[in-house]
Amino acid sequence: MIDINSLDFEKGEGLIPAIIQDANNFQVLMLGYMNREALEKTLEEERVTFFSRSKQRLWTKGETSGNFLDVIDIQQDCDDDTLLILAKPHGATCHTGEESCFHQKEFKPATNLRFLSDLEELIVNRKKEMPEGSYTTSLFNDGIDKIAQKVGEEAVETVIEAKNKHHSLVDEVSDLIYHLLVLLVEKEVPLQTIVQNLEDRHGKAN
């Protein structure tokens, strides 16, 4: 999260701006202001609370509408006087009923690949903790040969579904990606390494 004692509240006369961003698709949802007490409440409850300049009091977003903003992560900028908060919105953020206060122009969300990182982290934890009854644990117990075999099987099933135009192609591709992630974790190759390699190859191709 952040070091609250390093933030410069004095520059803004006790307030610092907080940019709220959807943790799912990275859309900017709104801008608010926090004093130290609002930030402490936000950190404690893991729900965004602002200091309302018009009402001159703490204001938890959603306290009336129920459209809360659950905190996923908080970052401070290089000058320690602005916050960027990744949040999970519950309903519309804007008082107009729009998802974002910046709705004048249609937002084109980035492809949500964040879940792949979350899934990779889950698989890494499975390998560390090896909980009983977990399918992922059983794969790691069986070793690299079994894991590689499963990747091959899922790849073949994906090809078959693609050629036969069955409706289960999405399921087969999902199974393939999951088992590929297990293989990468077993071989200690971070997903980010693959992404970086693709970016490098794309740059060379262009």
DSSP letter for each residue of 144-200: HHHHHHHHHHHHHHHHHHHHHT-TTHHHHHHHHHHHHHHHHHHTT--HHHHHHHHHH
Class of domain 114-205: mainly alpha
Greatest alpha-carbon pair distance for the chain in Å reads 66
What residues form DSSP beta bridges with 33?
A: 17
- The 10s digit of each residue's pLDDT in 177-203 is 999 999 999 999 998 899 888 878 877
Evaluate if residue 111 carries a pLDDT over 60: no
Tally the residues of the chain.
206
Residues 6+ apart with CB under 8 A from 61: 30, 32, 47, 48, 49, 50, 67, 68, 69, 93
pLDDT at 200: 84
pLDDT surpasses 70 at 69: yes
The model's pTM = 0.57
Fold of 4-89: Ubiquitin-like (UB roll) (3.10.20)
**Residue 95 reports pLDDT greater than 80:** yes
Please state the domain extents for the chain.
4-89, 114-205
Closest CA to 17 of 95, 75, 81: 81
Q: Which two tokens stand for residue 103?
A: 């709705």
With cut-offs at 50, 70 and 90, classify the pLDDT of residue 107. low
